[in-house]
Structures are given as structure tokens and as C-alpha cells.
């Protein structure tokens, strides 16, 4: 290894020192401290407008946010002048401390060719520069200390507003819509670990928490083509994978997973009536925070801080929801959420419109009900007497659940009534038109016409029972010897 030339070494040392002095010329102005407090001021002064935007986009919780933002503005108004005055005072002292160093640097440069003469001044200036750098660091630390607690409050509020903005953006892009009066609380990037342990093919997307539901939407790009293990084509997949009423959450557990145990996971256990019994998610937010959010949403704690009151008409609609189907009498076990306008009976399929009286509830159809004659119908086709049976399908709509419940009462009785009436009306219709039909082929050719006439003639009798035929088909006639 070549020993450095003394003159060259001195030149290098002086160059390094000059670089430090140049940096000090900027740092003694305490520009970092000035920029920091100005960033805080910008964030605080912009909060009111930012909150207005969030309210406009539909964030209705934490009504005290505006008050908190105004309190930060008021606190900063008192704090900012003191911080600025301290920055100016400290900066002036540091600038003055730098001047002797700046004056002596040209002298040191002139001695670069004489290492013996320059070494003493170099050592002195190095020491002075080191001391001044320490003073700059101490000054910045002292200035930060004047408002570090306040700055932490501003950071926490700003971060929270960013999280709310993320949620609102994701909701605006979602493939589903919230219910009327339903409002978002939080959202996070997540992977639904369907086996309880994260797997390569588990769906990735967004986990939403609203004041009424937990929702997971898959939202990711999936490789559709690879060449030599390199992805060359992708497709975007965005589909609702899971939704469950938050009131059905039984328990939320948290865990840290991954090789470094730095991944946040939550495991949500639901009541038996939920669409799933357990859902495990890897989330990109603090799992303890999400555990608390879900538990608060379950007990409707967020409603206490709403900036917009819940529509009481919607609340009363939920309270007045039936507990028993007016059509079949089955128990209604569906969780009725605020904003829902109807529920469906899981037994008979009746769609019950919330708030309607039974007489105005919409019709529900029983489709593809099989029907047929139980005994042959005797008709004359031309000069021949024939015994005919027929079969087909029909659709029946419940028009008035109250009358239906009184006159018929259940699905089995409905099918019996409809089948009997259709067979009776078919006999009447065939008796009326058979004189114009001379053979079996002619009868088959008029099957659609006959079915329509049967429907029209049967409906007046069914109306008295609260039901109506919407479709009748005849799939075939059978001729018996």
C-alpha cells in the first residue's frame, strides 16, 4: 500500500473540512427545523377543508373531529410564534459561531503546501467544526422538544384522516354498494386465509368494517399466462367474497404471524346464523386496533359520535320487521339491517317488504310447479270418444299473503288447490273446443292456446284465495284406450 504524500494528504483533509463547513453554512440556518414547523402548520391549517371533503364523501362518524381540528389550530397559533422566535435566536447564535471558521478556512487553504505549518490550524478548525455540528444538533433537538407532543397529536390526526380517505376511495371503487344509511368505519388491505393459515392462492383484497357489516372484497390482479415462470398476462379480479352482520360477531382474536412474527392477523368467530363460522384475515393494519373497532361496531358505539343522526324512520322499520312469515308462518331468522327494504322467507321464498302491511306485500312466485290430471277426461274428437290425461307446469304468485294464509295456509295445500283447479278447468276447456278438433294431432297443436285459456279461467277462483297463476304450460296429452 502506497503511503500518501504529506502535501496530498493535507489537501484531502482540507477539502473534507471545507465540505463540512459548506454543510454547516446551511444547517446553522436551522432550515430543517423551519421546514418541520412549517409542515406542521400546513397540515393543521388544511384539516378543516380536508374534513369537509370527508363529510361530503360520506364519513359520518367522530363528530368531534372538527372541534379537535380547531383546537389544534388554536394551539398552533400560540405555539408557532414562540418556535419561530427560538429558531431565529438559535440560528443567529450558530451563524455567529461559524464566522471565525469561515474566516480561517482561506488561511488554512493557503498553507496546504506546507503540512507542518498547516497541521495545527487544521486540528483547531476540525475541533471547532465538530463542536458547532453538535450545537446545531442540540439546537434542533431543543426546538423539536418545544412542540414534540403537539406534533405527535398532529401526526396521529393526519394519519387517521389518511385512513378514512383510503376507506372512502375503496368504497367508491367497490363492486358492491352500502345499504341506505349504512356508513363505513374503516378499511384495510387484507388476505382472507380460508384455512386459518395464509396460502399462496388465498384471495387478496380489502376488508371493510361498517356500522352494520363486515365485508371482504377480493381485489387483485391474477396471472393468467406465464412464459418460463415469468408472468406475461394478468386479469383484474374484483368480487364480493364475504359479508356478515357485525352483530353476529362472537369473538375477535389477534395474532402475529410470518417468519419474523411481524404480520398482523385477526380471526373472527361468528354466531351460527352467519354465512361463515370463522374468518381469518392477514391485515395491513394494527390487529389490536381492528379488534377494538369491530367490538365497538358490534355494540353500536360509533353511533354515539355520528355527525349526521341515524334516520329514525329506518330504525323503526327494522324494529317493526316481522318475526314470522305471513305466508307460511315460518320463523324469520334473518338479521334485519338498517337500510334493508325487504327480507326473504327461507322456507317459502316470500319476499316481505318492510313497512308494508300484509295486504300490500309484493307477490312471490312458486315456479315450475308440476300439475296434471289425476283421472282421464272424456272428450269427443270428431266421431271418436277419447279418454285424455294431460300434464304440465305452472307458476303461482301469492298476491295477498293475509288471504292466502286464511284460505290456504301452506305450500302443500297451495299445490293441491292449484292442481285440482287446473284439472277441472282443463276439462271445461276441452269440452268447449273439442268439437272443432278431429284428431290427437289437432289437439296437440293447440296446446299453447288451451293452456292460456285454462290460466284465464282458473285465476278468478284463485284470486279469492290470495294467489294468481302467472304461467301455465301443457307438456303433453296422453290418449287412453
In a domain, 454, yes or no: yes
In a domain, 347, yes or no: no
pLDDT bucket at 244, cuts 50 / 70 / 90 = very high
Q: What is the mean pLDDT of residues 317-332?
A: 80
End residue of a domain, out of 289, 305, 321: 305
In a domain, 276, yes or no: yes
Query: Is 96's pLDDT higher than 60?
Result: yes
What are the tens digits of pLDDT across the range 341-389? 888 887 777 788 887 644 444 446 776 788 888 788 887 766 678 788 8
Residues 414 and 463 in one domain: yes
Tally of domains in the chain: 3
In a domain, 249, yes or no: yes
Query: Is 26's pLDDT higher than 70?
Result: yes
From the list 268, 255, 257, the residue with the least C-alpha distance to 294 is 268
In a domain, 360, yes or no: no
Task: Kindly state the percentage of the chain with pLDDT values over 70.
Answer: 94
Please tell me the distance from the alpha carbon of residue 332 to that of residue 320, in angstroms, as a whole number.
13
- Which residue's C-alpha cell is 303461482? 396
More confident of the two residues 259 and 53: 53
Q: Which residues contact 158 (CB under 8 A, 6 or more apart)?
A: 43, 47
What are the tens digits of pLDDT across the range 52-67? 999 999 999 999 999 9
- Residue 298 belongs to a domain with what CATH number? 2.30.29.30
Residues 197 and 164 in one domain: no
Residues 145 and 23 in one domain: yes
Residues 264 and 395 in one domain: no
Residue 213 contacts residue 337 (beta carbons within 8 Å): yes
In a domain, 359, yes or no: no
What are the tens digits of pLDDT across the range 303-314? 999 999 888 888
Residues 238 and 124 in one domain: no
Residues 72 and 212 in one domain: no
Per mean pLDDT, which range of 23-32, 233-242, 352-361 is the poorest? 352-361
Residues 431 and 375 in one domain: yes
In a domain, 178, yes or no: no
Please tell me the distance from the alpha carbon of residue 72 to that of residue 67, in angstroms, as a whole number.
9
Residues 158 and 218 in one domain: no
Residues 293 and 402 in one domain: no
Please tell me the distance from the alpha carbon of residue 363 to that of residue 352, in angstroms, as a whole number.
9
Q: What's the full length of the chain, in residues?
A: 481
Residues 42 and 157 in one domain: yes
Instruction: Check residue 135 and give its pLDDT.
Output: 95
End residue of a domain, out of 280, 305, 330: 305
More confident of the two residues 157 and 327: 157
Instruction: Check residue 479 and give its pLDDT.
Output: 76
Please tell me the distance from the alpha carbon of residue 342 to that of residue 66, in angstroms, as a whole number.
36
Residues 22 and 114 in one domain: yes
Residue 59 belongs to domain spanning? 6-170
In a domain, 139, yes or no: yes
Residues 371 and 397 in one domain: yes
End residue of a domain, out of 145, 170, 195: 170
Amino acid at each position: 500500500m502506497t503511503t500518501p504524500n504529506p502535501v496530498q494528504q493535507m489537501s484531502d483533509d482540507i477539502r473534507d473540512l471545507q465540505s463540512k463547513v459548506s454543510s454547516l453554512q446551511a444547517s446553522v440556518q436551522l432550515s430543517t427545523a423551519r421546514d418541520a414547523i412549517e409542515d406542521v402548520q400546513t397540515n393543521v391549517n388544511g384539516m378543516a377543508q380536508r374534513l369537509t371533503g370527508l363529510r361530503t364523501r360520506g364519513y359520518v362518524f367522530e363528530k368531534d373531529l372538527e372541534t379537535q381540528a380547531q383546537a389544534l389550530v388554536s394551539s398552533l397559533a400560540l405555539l408557532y410564534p414562540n418556535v419561530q422566535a427560538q429558531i431565529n435566536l438559535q440560528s443567529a447564535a450558530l451563524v455567529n459561531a461559524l464566522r471565525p471558521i469561515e474566516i480561517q478556512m482561506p488561511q488554512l487553504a493557503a498553507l496546504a503546501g506546507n503540512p507542518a505549518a498547516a497541521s495545527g490550524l487544521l486540528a483547531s478548525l476540525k475541533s471547532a467544526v465538530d463542536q458547532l455540528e453538535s450545537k446545531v444538533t442540540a439546537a434542533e433537538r431543543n426546538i423539536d422538544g418545544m412542540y414534540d407532543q403537539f406534533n405527535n397529536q398532529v401526526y396521529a390526526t393526519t394519519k387517521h384522516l389518511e385512513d378514512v380517505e383510503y376507506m372512502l376511495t375503496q368504497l367508491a371503487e367497490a363492486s358492491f354498494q352500502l345499504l341506505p344509511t349504512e356508513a363505513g368505519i374503516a378499511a384495510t388491505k387484507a388476505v382472507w386465509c380460508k384455512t386459518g393459515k395464509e396460502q399462496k392462492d388465498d384471495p387478496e383484497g380489502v376488508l371493510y368494517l361498517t356500522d352494520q357489516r363486515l365485508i371482504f372484497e377480493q381485489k387483485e390482479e391474477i396471472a393468467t399466462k406465464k412464459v418460463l415462470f415469468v408472468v406475461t398476462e394478468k386479469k383484474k379480479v374484483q368480487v364480493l367474497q364475504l359479508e356478515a352482520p357485525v352483530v353476529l360477531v362472537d369473538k375477535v382474536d389477534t395474532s402475529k404471524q410470518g417468519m419474523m412474527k411481524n404480520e398482523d392477523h385477526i380471526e373472527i368467530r361468528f354466531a351460527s346464523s352467519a354465512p361463515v363460522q370463522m374468518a381469518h384475515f392477514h391485515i395491513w393494519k394494527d390487529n389490536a386496533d381492528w379488534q377494538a373497532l369491530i367490538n365497538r361496531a358490534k355494540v353500536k358505539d360509533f353511533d354515539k359520535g355520528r355527525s349526521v343522526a341515524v334516520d329514525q324512520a329506518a330504525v323503526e322499520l327494522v324494529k317493526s320487521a316481522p318475526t314470522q312469515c305471513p305466508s307460511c308462518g315460518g320463523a324469520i331468522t334473518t338479521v334485519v339491517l338498517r337500510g334493508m327494504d325487504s327480507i326473504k322467507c327461507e322456507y317459502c321464498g316470500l319476499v316481505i317488504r318492510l313497512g308494508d302491511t300484509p295486504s300490500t306485500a309484493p307477490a312471490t312466485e312458486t315456479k315450475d310447479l308440476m300439475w296434471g290430471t289425476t283421472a282421464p277426461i272424456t272428450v269427443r274428437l270428431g266421431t271418436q270418444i277419447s279418454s285424455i290425461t294431460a300434464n304440465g307446469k305452472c307458476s303461482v304468485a301469492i298476491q295477498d299473503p293475509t288471504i292466502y294464509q286464511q284460505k290456504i295456509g301452506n305450500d302443500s295445500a297451495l299445490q293441491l288447490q292449484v292442481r285440482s283447479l287446473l284439472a277441472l278447468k282443463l276439462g271445461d276447456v276441452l269440452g268447449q273446443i273439442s268439437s272443432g278438433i278431429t284428431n290427437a294431432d289437432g289437439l296437440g297443436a293447440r296446446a299453447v292456446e288451451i293452456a292460456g285459456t285454462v290460466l284465464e279461467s282458473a285465476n278468478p277462483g284463485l284470486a279469492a284465495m290470495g294467489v294468481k297463476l302467472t304461467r301455465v304450460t301443457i307438456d303433453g296429452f296422453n290418449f287412453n284406450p
